[in-house]
Amino acid sequence: MASKKEQNGPDKRQFSTRLLHFGAEIDEATGASSVPIYQASTFHHHSLDNPPEFDYTRSGNPTRQALEDYIALLEGGARGFSFSSGMAAISTTFMLLSAGDHIICTEDVYGGTYRLLTSILPRMNIETTFVDMTDLEQVKAALKPNTKAVFLETPSNPTLKITDIGAVCEWAKSHDLLTMLDNTFMTPYHQRPIEHGVDIVLHSATKFLGGHSDLLAGLAVVANDSLGQRLKQLQNGMGTVLGVYDSWLLMRGMKTLQARMEASERSARKLAEWLVQEPGIEQVYYPGLLNHPGREIHEKQSLGYGAVVSFDVGSGERARQVLDKVTIPLVAVSLGAVESILSYPAMMSHAAMPREVRLERGIGDGLLRYSVGLEHIDDIISDLKQALR
């Protein structure tokens, strides 16, 4: 497993300390123990010759700035940006590209990203090739003269395939390609992609970072100031910013990230191990299982295995039976909350993906995705057992 020293980077404080002491935890003006919510759309110019740091909230707001500095610190990047949703973060970042450009992307990517890449960006003459990124040779073979970017998702959603971040980034840099990685499942607690060569890290902060199913947000962190200037221009120009109250609420949720992730991961590992032994389960997907094909690579680049377990019950009919009978998890879109969430990718997160494409990528009609929350693991297993049997 990657060492904590490697994950902590130049800051000597441990991750749990940085979650609480991130630079804006005490308001300098009043000593308040929480970042103030600056509920203002515009800011007074006391002097035209000396304009204020903030002038209009779309362009910048002190509350949102505190959040953006917070995620940059946690990811070890040069600059952070917050957006109105995870897809707003991803969509805005893809606007770094131009008409005629080509993207190489993880094949079993989140359905919303797939929708963007297949139904919206092609109208702007930006094309995408989807490959199995567990095989570096497939990534290399997808290179075209107009390739400009590589989009990674590891572990992938929902089959939890593992991509060797360092190997892909080393190859990408040799061809001057921009690398982007969706780090939603792992969060910066478990995985810090910039340390492995990634240029831009993306999050649906709606999930584990927020952690309470009560906000919609996206985050991006860039590895250098040059990219930061370009992404800032896009964030401001497109206006895809996060509101100030949600910025404050997200910071509140992030303070407990490590405690939540550790507890949920402990339960997720037990759930995965139980599912492997359960009759009628065709396949269990979890990086912490000894037989997971990407486990060794994952341990090289991550501190933990996460709190998402996917499993195939064999058919769509049986999947519906389970969804109808469980009583503990929310049956819902999304993941990463204090309460467990059981999702049906075929009709939820990956509904935008044609069935034949889903099946090619291992996202069958019987596949379920369990985001393990903070309930007692014995209750989670007992509930799932009765639903399966």
Enumerate the active-site residues. Answer: 58, 110, 182, 207
In a 3-state reduction of DSSP, which class is residue 34? coil
- Beta carbons within 8 Å of 53's beta carbon, 6+ residues apart: 60
Tell me which amino acid residue 214 is: D
Scan for tokens 């404080």, then name that residue: 13
What stretches of the chain adopt beta strand conformation (E)? Answer: 79-83, 102-106, 127-131, 147-153, 178-182, 200-204, 218-222, 283-285, 308-312, 330-331, 341-343, 367-371
- Beta carbons within 8 Å of 196's beta carbon, 6+ residues apart: 165, 166, 169, 301
Alpha carbon distances (Å) from 220 to 16, 93, 211, 292, 309: 21, 8, 17, 29, 25
Residue 155: cis peptide before it, omega within 30 degrees of 0: yes
- CA gap 217, 88 in Å, rounded: 8
- CA gap 230, 387 in Å, rounded: 50
- Beta carbons within 8 Å of 69's beta carbon, 6+ residues apart: 22, 23, 24, 80
Least Cα distance to 21 among 186, 243, 239, 255 occurs for 255
Phi/psi of residue 135, nearest 5 degrees: -115, 105
- CA gap 160, 186 in Å, rounded: 11
